[in-house]
Amino acid sequence: MSVFVVRAFVKMREQLLSRAELEARLTQIENVLLSHDDKIRELYRQIRPLLLPPPEPPPKKVGFGVRERCAKYSVKKRRVS
């Protein structure tokens, strides 16, 4: 019977050690995920303005428009007599 009791305690010790290793690993994973969450939030903050629709362009003018330089007209001066 004492052999079974010793084996039980050995098994319990192994379980406790594996639990401690598992807990350390989970803590490490949690820290990595928290840093990734921060990076994802920053990335989303930068991408969000790009997801918004572009502003509407101004409406085009209707009608005829001249796209050349203005003609130089000279005004004749009146002679004072």
Domain residue spans in the chain? 1-56
The pLDDT value given to residue 60: 84
pTM comes to: 0.40
Q: With cut-offs at 50, 70 and 90, classify the pLDDT of residue 47.
A: confident
DSSP string covering the chain: -HHHHHHHHHHHHHHHHHHHHHHHHHHHHHHHHHHHHHHHHHHHHHHHHHHSPPPPPPPPPPS----SPPP----PPPPP-
Residues 66, 68: Cα–Cα separation, whole Å: 6
Query: Which residue from 37, 40, 58, 56 is spatially nearest to 48, judged by alpha carbons?
Result: 40
Q: With cut-offs at 50, 70 and 90, classify the pLDDT of residue 81.
A: low
The pLDDT value given to residue 12: 85
Span 23-44, pLDDT tens digits: 888 889 888 888 888 888 898 8
**pLDDT exceeds cutoff 80 at 71:** no
- Decide which of 72 and 47 is more confident: 47
The pLDDT value given to residue 72: 67
